[in-house]
Amino acid sequence: MELTQKQLDFFDKNGFILLKDFASKKECKAILEIAKVHLKYRIEPIETELGYDKKSKDFRTNESDYKSLDFEQEAPIRRLRQVYSRDVIFKNWMENKEIRPILQQVLKDDVTITLAHHNSIMTKLPKISTQTRWHQDRRYWRYSDDNLVSIWLALDKEYENNGVLEFIPGSHKMHFSKEQFDEKEYFREDLEKNSEIIATKVSKKLKRGDVVIFHSLLLHRANKNDTKKPKISFVYTVKGSQTQAIGGTRSSAYDEIYLGDTLS
């Protein structure tokens, strides 16, 4: 499968694109069932709601040990980390051959999975989850350039009340000052010039099997989950093969999976 020129133009302008009904319901169900087992038994490495909230910018940038800390043992899980190596069903989705030509189109380069970032099952648990504030994923990543995109798979329905993704179209091409972000590099909502940008936000309801591809510099966020059912999603990140992780950083601490030239 490949994107049309119209779809490519939309991605270039807006920084994201939605692929409806991309993954099969059967595959999504299998991923979800395994994810629930790992969540139930808190199989490390995990990130908790407490860890997400408390850990510093330096920790997020430099720490390569993703295991939760002792003081987090009772905290709600926010994500399962390093899922590529957890189960073959996770690995198979991240190496999905049908999406590779699309990824090569948007990257304009051969596709490489980076295991250092995302590579996660994301959760928003009922009532106890927290919101995800406006941010760019690239803020804690250390690469030679910004040619990275993330692939978000909805494993069930995602909508406003359970924390569907929201995007600011075109923000991947905007130039921001340091003052527009706080100390953890979240996009500040208390600034008037930021409020005008945030007012342009968009979101799309997702259903099982829908995929969103979005640029590493695109501002995005999600509400907390106010429903009675967990929201569980799958996200991983790929980069162009010419984009290099900077040595001595978390970005270079994990293997990369080269998927090759899929359009030749």
Q: pLDDT tens across 143-184, in order?
A: 999 999 999 999 999 999 999 999 999 999 999 999 999 998
Q: Among 3.40.50.740, 2.60.120.620, 2.40.50.140, 3.20.20.70, what is the CATH number of 5-260?
A: 2.60.120.620
- DSSP secondary structure letter of residue 153: E
End-to-end C-alpha distance for the chain, whole angstroms: 14
* Three-state secondary-structure class, residue 159: coil
> What are the sequence ranges of the domains in the chain?
5-260
pLDDT the model gives residue 262: 63
pLDDT the model gives residue 75: 87
Residues 6+ positions from 59 with CB-CB distance below 8 Å:
none
Give the residue, 183 or 70, on which the prediction is more confident.
Answer: 183
For residues 100 and 17, the answer to whether their CB atoms sit within 8 Å is: no
Report residue 73's pLDDT band, with 50, 70 and 90 as the boundaries: confident
Chain CA centroid to CA 120, Å: 8
pTM confidence score: 0.94
C-alpha to C-alpha distance for 229 and 162, rounded to whole angstroms? 8
- At residue 6's C-alpha, the angle toward residues 4 and 12, to 5°, is 105
Question: What number is the average pLDDT over the span 43-71?
Answer: 72
pLDDT the model gives residue 217: 98
| pLDDT tens track for 22-54 | 999 999 999 999 999 999 999 999 999 886 666
The token duo for 263 is: 């359009």
pLDDT the model gives residue 213: 98
C-alpha to C-alpha distance for 38 and 29, rounded to whole angstroms? 15
Give the residue, 1 or 170, on which the prediction is more confident.
Answer: 170
pLDDT the model gives residue 74: 80
